[in-house]
Chain A
Amino acid sequence: MSKRQVAMVMDLNKCLGCQTCTVACKRLWTKREGMSHMYWNTVNTQPGTGTPHNWEQMGGGFKDGMAQKGHRPSVEEFGKAWDFNHKEVAFGGKPDAVLAPKGDNPGRGPNWDEDIGGGDYPNSHYFYLPRICNHCTHPACQEACPRKAISKREDNGIVLIDEDHCNGYRFCQEACPYKKIYYNELEEVSQKCIFCFPRIDEGVTTACSRQCPGRVRFVGYLDDPEGPIHKLVHQHKVALPLHAEYGTQPNVFYVPPLSPPRIDDEGNATDEARIPTEYLISLFGPRVPEVLEKIKHERERSQRGETSELMDLLISRKWLDMFGPFTKHPREVATSQIKFYKKPPGPGDARPAPQGGQDPLGRPGVVLKGERP
């Protein structure tokens, strides 16, 4: 049992589906060879098949405390990004060439059913569901590994795979009910979200949360009464785990999305939400109606000009308040310098030639240490 648990809350009312989190994570952690199909952070449209496709039907987790058999997703099920014939179209000298994926069967990409959603006009609906490893309190992956290569850090509960000890048996992939573990075929090890632990250790929040333009992601300790996680999960009780019935006690929580009213056959707004509450219950459990009602109530109070601590928290006017104790800028803790390249001045250019390490924003005299996402 970990002494403390670092956790994340994602407010689904604010997610834009812009994938900035996905890119931030990809740029930082999954650029090595064998990782091209890996998206430790994914954002999928719901209702939808998700990533890997149909992951909710792939088993794993626990039922009545017993480990459940699970499916091991293939690279094709995770979905590979397509390679396109850009060169042929741009430089091939063929005016009729059209942009198309390479190969006869490029397969379904990782975000295949983006923005399709569910329902029929005028009640079509969707929302975005960002997902990372849940860093579960009872990780099925850890329990499944015969090598004891997966551990849960005692100081903050982050679940990590020791790649030196992993033999690539992939029982973890089968056992994880959220299917957030990938396999690196070149390095022959399983790999997954590390909750940016090198940043967390230095007081910097995760790349996905720091880069999120929608201010969707809160980060902090579950037991910190002054932090946003404790407030949203335990005090206001508006953040719910995804598929709690999987039995792993996930430590990523979601504020379920409100939606506009359902339109009846005469075109009038009804009292029902357009995103079917039953569907949200299937994801986030039986407390969904109570949570939606509470957010709606607090929103109305706020609209009337009354004070709502919950709305203030969810709106997150002070960005850094979202990250509990992890408020440092990456620049403050970076240990290596990055040299920023600038094109040297050409003939007739009056600007002085830049020096290595110069501030990319052009502030005179500012030399940056390694800024990362």
Chain B
Amino acid sequence: MRAKRVASLTAYRQPGAAEWAAMAPQDIALTATPLSMQPTPYIQQSWDGKPYGQTPALKAACVHDGHEWALRVTWQGVSGMGHDFPDALAVALPVKGKPVLALMGQPDAPIHMLRWQANKEKLRIISATGIGKSIDGAAVKCGVQARAVDNEWQVVFTRVLGHGAGVAPLLAGKKTGIGFALWRGANDERAGIKAFSIDWIELALDA
């Protein structure tokens, strides 16, 4: 995925901006996290035979202006109101190296995540060092705008470029990896019951 450099991010902050429509988003294939990787016997047992993580793909495009990065993600499946768990999407960036995405990082190679969920106005910043080992992550200036159009979510994440202790590097002219995790609230999806993007996707930011 390429993050093209643009003069200003102002218009790109809106998920319905014409600027996004003019870009060709990348298809990101998703798959359900394996049942055998669910961390407790209860979860394995109770979800055995029940479909989850069925959203096949999402579309993503991004830009940056030298100071800030904007990522627009869209996918089909809006749960609506009245469910115990919200629709949610997490964007994963490696702090160091490329730990196995499916294992949610490792102690010496955490994953820095920005998590949006439909019932919150702000992102949650998470640092994950393994399955079930996520904590609040290092603070970084970020934001989100989301809207549901018919059955499609359109979500724009923004984050400042740069790096720091515990903050995944995002630097103009550099490459890193990006991953996604998607929860469908109407299906009670939460924790490891989700769809994810299998492996890191290369993310190259224009100089």
Q: Mark B128-167, 1 if CB is under 8 A from A, else 0.
A: 0001101000000000000000000000000000000000
Q: Mark the stretch among A13-21, A139-147, A203-211, A218-226 that contacts chain B.
A: A139-147
Within 8 A of B (CB), among A124-172: 140, 143-148, 167, 169-171
Q: Which residue of B lies closest to A148 (CB)?
A: B132
CB B119 to nearest CB in A, in angstroms, measures 10
Q: How far is the CB of A68 from chain B (nearest CB, A)?
A: 7
Tell me, yes or no, whether A313 is within 8 Å of chain B by CB. Answer: no
Contact A67 B45, beta carbon cutoff 8 Å: yes
Whether A147 lies near B41 (C-beta < 8 A) is: no
Contact between B45 and A68 (Cβ–Cβ < 8 Å)?
yes
Flag B36-57 by CB within 8 Å of A: 1 or 0 each. Answer: 0011111101100000000000
Residues of B within 8 A of A179 (CB): none
Q: How large is the interface on B (under 10, 10 to 19, 20 to 34, 35 or more residues)?
A: 10 to 19
Q: Is the C-beta of B108 less than 8 angstroms from some C-beta in chain A?
A: no
Q: Is B192 an interface residue (CB 8 A)?
A: yes
Given contact pairs A146-B132, A148-B132, A167 touches B191 in the complex (Cβ within 8 A) = yes
Question: In the complex, what's the smallest C-beta–C-beta distance from A59 to chain B, in angstroms?
Answer: 9
Query: Which secondary structure dominates where chain B touches chain A?
Result: loop
Whether B122 is near chain A, meaning CB under 8 Å from some CB there, is no
Residue A175 interfacial (CB < 8 Å): yes
Question: When A169-B190, A169-B191, A171-B191 are in contact, do A143 and B42 touch as well, CB less than 8 Å?
Answer: yes
Bound Cα distance from A52 to B41, whole angstroms? 25
Question: Quick one: which of B17-61 are within 8 Å of A by CB?
Answer: 38-43, 45-46
A146 touches B46 (CB 8 A): no
- Specify which chain A residues have a CB less than 8 angstroms from the CB of B132 in the assembled complex: 146-148
Q: Which of B39, B42, B190, B192 contacts A67 (CB 8 A)?
A: B42
Q: What residues on B are CB-neighbors of A148 within 8 Å?
A: 132
Contact B84 A69 (CB under 8 A): no
In the bound assembly, the distance between CA atoms of A66 and B38 in angstroms comes to 15
Q: Nearest chain-B residue to A68 (Cβ)?
A: B45
Any chain B CB within 8 A of the CB of A70? Answer: yes
Contact with B along A330-363 (1 / 0, CB 8 A): 0000000000000000000000000000000000
Query: Do A66 and B192 touch (CB < 8 A)?
Result: no
**CB-defined contacts of A69 to chain B, threshold 8 Å:** 45-46
The answer to whether B40 and A146 touch across the interface, beta carbons within 8 angstroms, is yes
Q: Is the CB of B45 within 8 A of A171?
A: no
A147 to B46, CA, bound (A): 17
- Determine whether A11 belongs to the interface, using a CB cutoff of 8 Å to chain B: no
A114 at the interface (CB under 8 A from B): no
Q: Are B46 and A145 in contact, CB atoms less than 8 angstroms apart?
A: no
Complex contact A140–B42 (CB within 8 A) = yes
Task: Tell me the smallest distance from the CB of A258 to a CB of chain B, in Å.
Answer: 38
Q: Mark A305-343, 1 if CB is under 8 A from B, else 0.
A: 000000000000000000000000000000000000000
Closest A residue, CB atoms, query B190? A169
User: A67 vs B41: C-alpha distance in the bound complex, in angstroms?
Assistant: 7
Chain B 182-207 residues near chain A, CB threshold 8 A: 190-192
A67-84, CB < 8 A from B: 67-70, 72
- Chain B residues with CB under 8 Å of chain A are 38-43, 45-46, 84, 131-132, 134, 190-192
In addition to A140-B42, A169-B191, 12 A-B residue pairs with Cβ atoms within 8 Å of each other are A67-B42, A72-B84, A143-B42, A146-B38, A146-B39, A146-B40, A146-B132, A146-B191, A146-B192, A148-B132, A167-B190, A171-B191
- Of the A-B pairs whose beta carbons lie under 8 Å apart in the complex, a sample of 25, sorted by A's number, is A67-B40, A67-B46, A69-B45, A70-B46, A72-B84, A140-B42, A143-B41, A144-B40, A144-B43, A146-B38, A146-B39, A146-B40, A146-B43, A146-B191, A146-B192, A167-B134, A167-B190, A167-B191, A169-B191, A170-B190, A171-B40, A171-B42, A171-B46, A171-B191, A174-B46
